[in-house]
């Protein structure tokens, strides 16, 4: 019988209001039911927000370095449980164990980084324009933060949001993806075991109506969302109407430019990791390969040969390179785009079908897929597929490569492979993206660097690094006049 799990509200584990549940299924081994989770309602959200609001007063008054000590303990516990959490994450969402270990490590890095930043919550002091007057600014927490995350990085991405939020003195209501509820539960359990006070982080499981209730709740002061561009647009509309702060991390259609002087062996390693790591289910996945015509044919042959030898299977088994896609809807979506690519006239060079045989029959597996003869106007070159599908476009110059790279609605990550330092530095400025890698694939964010995109990938905020702390704080300006008389700024300064 499958284990049963609960929401965490105000430090207490409890069932959903009404008792409804849903099952969490292993996408690689479909008869493995990981657990039964609460199918929560807006009433559960309201309770969680109330608990977060109650906890805010005490948590926000705690000296920031003391909050940092709690985050340090969280990092220590995640370090101790790294293999355990990674195993369960692979079981739940499919990517191989070596990838999920990296997911947990990113959470560990984020915990330690956020802990250190609690001693660096800088304000500013500046000269006043008037005598005997002191000017400064400080940073204050916002309040209750709603955190809604996707399933593909079910530990790392929630920590990008929650750890800076609580470091700044906010409290959180966390809604993980219904495709990765167990990972969210294990993460929150680690927070509680580290001594995080009751109500500072609350966990509410469920489907879309839970997220909608969280976004629209009047006592939620800020929302941080990772997911599709379509859902992000709806969230932005609600938050805009309610005048609440919102950070959106959405889709990508990330290009890798390969110039004719590139090291093709290095490029190949980058393509295999960038396009087929996490089965292509990353917002930063390398989904467009833009190749100079002089090396196009050779590189395509290398990619197809190497990708055909990647080993698919359950990611907790030894030697697995690529896991399953997350669910049947993902199978349908990716296969639909493969059909679109064929109809648009692209050449299917590799894959394009479900992977079957043996244990693969019991999971949601797709063969790594490569399309050539792709043009910039095809849908497979413009729309996010979120699967192991690589579209290859041929160009004749750096200028054409950049034009193709920029000709989409997204702008998250990008990459260029070249040994020409001039082109490398030009690309840093020319490519319209929040991230550019030189001689590396489009994936591989580091916890202490800003992460985010432009155009329809995001709304201007960044996760990770020092910039995320600006999102989770308000700047308060303070004037201290010790002149002993009324001074009128601008009026007395003329």
Report the catalytic residues.
Answer: 249, 283
Give Dmax (Cα) for the chain: 86
Contacts 24+ apart (CB under 8 A), 369-374: 369/338, 370/300, 370/303, 370/304, 370/307, 371/341, 371/346, 371/347, 372/300, 372/346, 372/347, 373/345, 373/346, 373/347, 374/341, 374/346
Beta-carbon count within 10 A of 232 CB:
23
Question: Which contiguous run of DSSP H or E holds residue 111?
Answer: helix 97-117
Alpha-carbon 468 to chain mean position: 13
Rounded to whole angstroms, the Cα distance separating 14 from 240 reads 32
Q: Which of 389, 323, 399 is nearest to 351 (CA)?
A: 389
- Phi-psi group of 19: left, alpha or beta (phi > 0 → left; psi -120 to 50 → alpha; rest → beta): left
| DSSP states of 158-188 | HHHHHHHHHHTT-EEEEE--TTSHHHHHHHH
End-to-end CA distance of the chain: 79
* Contact present, 48 and 216 (Cβ < 8 Å): no
Rounded to whole angstroms, the Cα distance separating 194 from 204 reads 20
The CA-based angle 403-409-415, given to 5 degrees, is 55
Rounded to whole angstroms, the Cα distance separating 355 from 67 reads 48
Beta-carbon count within 10 A of 400 CB:
17
* Contact present, 447 and 113 (Cβ < 8 Å): yes
Rounded to whole angstroms, the Cα distance separating 492 from 198 reads 51
The CA-based angle 365-22-232, given to 5 degrees, is 70
């Amino acid at each position: 019988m499958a284990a049963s799990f609960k929401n965490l509200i105000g430090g207490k584990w409890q069932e959903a209001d009404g008792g409804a549940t849903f099952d969490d299924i292993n996408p690689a081994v479909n008869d493995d039911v990981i657990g039964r989770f609460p199918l929560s309602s807006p009433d559960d959200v309201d309770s969680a927000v109330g608990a977060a609001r109650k906890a805010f007063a005490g948590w926000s008054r705690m000296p920031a370095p003391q909050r940092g000590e709690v985050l340090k303990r969280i990092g220590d516990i995640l370090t101790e449980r790294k293999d355990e959490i990674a195993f369960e994450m692979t079981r739940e969402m499919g990517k191989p164990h070596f990838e999920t270990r990296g997911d947990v490590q990113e959470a560990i890095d984020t915990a330690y980084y956020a802990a250190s930043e609690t001693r660096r919550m800088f304000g500013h002091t500046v000269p006043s324009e008037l005598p005997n007057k002191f000017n400064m600014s400080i940073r204050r927490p916002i309040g209750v933060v709603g955190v809604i995350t996707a399933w593909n990085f079910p530990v790392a991405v929630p920590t990008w949001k929650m750890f800076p939020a609580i470091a700044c003195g906010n409290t959180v209501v966390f809604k993980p993806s219904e495709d990765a509820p167990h990972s969210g539960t294990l993460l929150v359990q680690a927070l509680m075991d580290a001594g995080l006070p009751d109500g500072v982080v609350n966990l509410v499981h469920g489907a879309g109506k839970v997220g909608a209730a969280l976004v629209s709740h009047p006592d939620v002061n800020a929302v941080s969302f990772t997911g599709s561009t379509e859902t992000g647009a709806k969230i932005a509309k609600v938050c805009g109407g309610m005048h609440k702060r919102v950070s959106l991390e959405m889709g990508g259609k990330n290009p890798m430019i390969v110039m004719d002087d590139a090291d093709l062996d290095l490029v190949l390693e980058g393509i295999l990791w960038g396009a087929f790591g996490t089965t292509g289910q990353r917002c930063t996945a390398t989904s467009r390969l833009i190749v100079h015509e002089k090396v196009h044919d050779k590189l395509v042959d290398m990619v197809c040969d190497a990708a055909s030898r990647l080993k698919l299977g359950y990611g907790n088994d030894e030697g697995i390179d690529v896991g399953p896609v997350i669910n049947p809807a993902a199978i349908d979506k990716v296969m639909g785009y493969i059909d679109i690519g064929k109809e648009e006239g692209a050449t299917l060079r590799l894959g394009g079908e479900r992977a079957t045989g043996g244990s693969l029959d019991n999971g949601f597996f797709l063969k790594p897929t490569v399309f050539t003869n792709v043009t910039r106007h095809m849908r497979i070159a413009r729309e996010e597929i979120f699967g192991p599908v690589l579209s290859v476009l041929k160009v004749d110059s750096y200028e054409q490569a950049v034009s193709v790279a920029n000709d989409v609605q997204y702008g998250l990550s990008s990459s260029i492979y070249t040994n020409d330092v001039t082109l490398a530095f030009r690309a840093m400025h020319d490519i319209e993206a929040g991230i550019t890698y030189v001689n590396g694939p489009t994936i591989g964010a580091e916890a202490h660097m800003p992460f985010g995109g432009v155009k329809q990938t995001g709304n201007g905020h960044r996760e990770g690094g020092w910039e995320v702390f600006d999102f989770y704080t308000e700047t308060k300006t303070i004037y201290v006049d010790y002149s002993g008389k009324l001074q009128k700024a601008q009026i007395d300064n003329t």
